[in-house]
Chain A
Amino acid sequence: MSSTTDAAARRTRFDDLVGGYYADMFRYAAWLSRDRAVAEDVVQESLLRAWKSLDSLRDDAAAKHWLLTIVRRENARYFERKRLETVDIDNLTGAQSALLAEEPDHQAEHMREAIFELEDDYREPLVLQVLMGYSTNEIAELMGLRQGAVLTRLHRARHKLKESMDK
């Protein structure tokens, strides 16, 4: 096989993987950063990094976990560079507000605000469980935590959301 064919096959493999998981990558980045514009930047950087290290992915069945791990690290890098402070929900940028005001559905908007206000430690495992369909064991693997710690965080996350929704 020529190097041109190899390159084409590599690009096809990459496009297939990204096409299948792009929405997950964006939503994960958006809920990690709580900012659509930041999420777009993080996903762009993640795609570049994934492209460069595609050959380290030996099993395409593990692609979702691999891509989300890259998004997680790129998000951390982004915030390390920018050193952004805690977000005040009463003083949001346009891109942050855009994440909350997606549709004229009062309950969804209220819930989105409550999720937005959760601490990172609670919001991330919740997103992974509810949106990405991760088991608590898989969340523990991705976040480098014990499973018990994940269960505690998820329990507290839902309690906090219930409290916010009951207000």
Chain B
Amino acid sequence: MNCEEYREAITADPSYDGGAAHLSDCAACQAYRREILAFDKTIAGALTIEVPPLKMPALPEIETHKVVTLKPRSRIVSTWLAVAATVTIAAVVGFRMLATDIVYESLEDEILAHLDHEPAALVVSDKPVSDRRLNRVVPASIATVGHGAGLITYAQTCVINGKDIPHLVIQGERGPVTVLLMPDEKIDAAADLKGEHTRGVLLPVGEGSIAIIGNREESIAPITSSILKSVAWET
């Protein structure tokens, strides 16, 4: 490592602890490091603005008994009783009402809103989900997902329009790309999906549809192509 490389690294990240061998032999870089650390203290001081007292907004009442899917596991209720309660409630009020009180104007709106509900899914990662998890979220009875789909780093069963659907995240060129497989959500025509920082497509596929959404800089077309080649409904 030379002076230029070291200074570039520590300017980008003052906590950088590489280049120890270079640093120990270079007085100029030692001085530069001290300067950067002092500079960052000034930045931190400037950023630490005064915070006004917390004013909690009027929070709407949430019907907690409807949030059955996320009850703590430690509850002293037998599994069968819990399942029975879930099925009963679901039959009465419908899965759509279970998930949220919000009624969306369109499937597109619900899909975009769904991305906000699971921000933890949208992370850059090089760690694929296990085959076991993928098979559990996308059972053969729903669809098969081939290896050409891309690097799948997240798989979760979610509810869209009252139906359980597989929610996958694939790593794109510019970040994570959300893929929602909706085998029972038949639509007449493709639609564009446009969020604040996202864009994508909702495509009719057989008797269902697939939504593919990435950040605005992502090139969706190649991902769409590989998804369409890799996913097959089991119908």
Contacts and interface: CB of A to CB of B under 8 A. Distances in A.
Most buried by A among B36, B50, B102: B50
Interface in B1-29: 8, 11-13, 15
A51 B54 contact: no
A11 B49 CA distance: 28
Interface string B43-87: 111111111101111011111110100100001000000000000
B47 A127 contact: yes
Contacts of A23: 51
Nearest to B46: A111
B46 A112 contact: yes
Contacts of B51: 22-23, 26-27
B197 A144 contact: yes
A47 B56 contact: yes
B60 A19 contact: no
Most buried by A among B49, B59, B120: B49
Given A55-B67, A102-B50, A111-B42, A49 B55 contact: no
Contacts of A159: 11
A13 B72 CA distance: 13
Nearest to B59: A51
Interface string A6-24: 1100110011001100110
Contacts of A155: 8, 11-12
B116 interface: yes
A27 B48 contact: yes
Contacts of A6: 64-65
Most buried by B among A53, A62, A135: A53
Contact of B196 (A11, A80, A107, A111): A80
B175 interface: yes
B215 A73 contact: no
Interface residues of B, number: 49
A66 B65 CA distance: 24
A136 B12 contact: yes
Contacts of A15: 56
A102 to B, nearest CB: 6
A131 B49 CA distance: 10
Interface string A49-85: 1011111101000100110011001001100100000
Interface in A144-167: 144-147, 151-152, 154-155, 158-159, 161-162
B174 interface: yes
8 contacts: A3-B65, A10-B64, A55-B67, A130-B44, A135-B15, A145-B174, A147-B124, A158-B43
Given A15-B56, A105-B45, 9 more contacts: A3-B65, A44-B57, A51-B59, A56-B70, A73-B116, A102-B50, A131-B47, A154-B11, A154-B13
